[in-house]
Amino acid sequence: GDYDIQVEVRSHDEIGKLAIAFNDMANSIHLEEERKKEFLENVAHELRTPLSYVKGYTQAILDGVVKNDEEQRKYLHLISREALRLQRLVGDLMDLSKMESAPFLLNKTPIAYAQFIEDVLVKYEPIIKEKQLDLKLDLDPDPIIFGDEGRMEQILHNIFDNAIQYTDSGGAIHITLIQHKDDCELLVTDTGNGIPEADLPYIMNRFYRVNKARSRFDGGSGLGLSIVKKLVELQNGKIEIESKEKRGTTVRVILPNIKEEWNS
């Protein structure tokens, strides 16, 4: 279990190559063990906070600290919020576990991409109206992708959720779909808070948060973008994020057109 110990390489023959391979294997195992340890620590940390809230609020009700119905409703609302956060975290963890196990099967069908995007956006009409956001659509009707409808909806929901949530009232969101020769490009641009340059390389890492306090309050698990990245890659696509702090963010999702997908 001590991965710092390295086999001394004294030659360049078969024995030397074996020693090098052994050291490489030990380093790989060490790295994987560290990743697992970090992941488990993060999971424990994420579970600890909502559990402590649920326990504390429940105990307050049982101990009679709550004096009236109004306070009791307040505490029950807080318990419900934290229980929902636990539910989301467990769901996200199960999704990640499934996606990283082999094989992870997708139920792919032809999707008229522009219409699919519009159908998903219908669910956001009330909050867009409430926040008085200027939503602009520029969708090429031609792209047809070969994807899993349920997983594609999950991808779009996560991207749209972030754009709406982190754009202040009166801001703007521009959704563009562009057809290229072999693929199509979806761009979701907002005028929101933006992401600091130092955080951008890590934004799709598990449990990574730019604004920890705000993410905890709104119930995010810190796993959303890592799941989106994995889902996009499973459908032979890629995702990129560009952002300027206090100026906004652009999320770019590139997926192969249906002809390119079938040919591959």
User: pLDDT for 55-71, tens place per residue?
Assistant: 888 988 888 888 888 88
The radius of gyration of the chain's CA atoms, rounded to the nearest angstrom, is 23
Q: Are 182 and 260 in contact (CB under 8 A)?
A: yes
Taking alpha carbons only, the member of 81, 159, 152 closest to residue 124 is 159
Query: Comparing 14-100 with 108-263, is the CATH topology the same?
Result: no
pLDDT at position 221 is: 53
Q: In this structure, what token pair is assigned to residue 72?
A: 């009791």
Fold of 14-100: Helix Hairpins (1.10.287)
Contacts of 12 (CB under 8 A, 6+ apart): none
Query: Tens of pLDDT along 214-244?
Result: 444 444 556 778 888 988 998 999 999 999 8
Percentage of residues in the chain with pLDDT exceeding 90? 34
Q: Report the distance separating Cα 91 and Cα 174, nearest Å.
A: 30
CA 231 to chain centre: 10
Confidence (pTM): 0.68
Q: Which residues of 48-76 are buried (b: 16+ CB within 10 A; e: fewer)?
A: eebeebbeebeebeeeeebeeeeeeeebe
Distances (CA, A) of 169 to 90, 191, 221: 31, 10, 24
Q: Which residues pair with 240 in a beta bridge?
A: 252
pLDDT at position 53 is: 83
Domain boundaries in the chain?
14-100, 108-263
Q: By mean pLDDT, which of 91-95, 108-112, 116-120 is the weakest?
A: 91-95
Average pLDDT over residues 175-197: 93
Q: In this structure, what token pair is assigned to residue 33?
A: 């063990």
pLDDT at position 156 is: 94
CATH 3.30.565.10 fits 108-263, yes or no: yes
- CB neighbours (10 Å) of residue 31? 11
Taking alpha carbons only, the member of 162, 149, 183 closest to residue 263 is 183
Q: By mean pLDDT, which of 47-61, 107-121, 133-147 is the weakest?
A: 47-61
Q: By mean pLDDT, which of 14-18, 43-47, 141-145 is the weakest?
A: 43-47
Length of the chain equals: 264
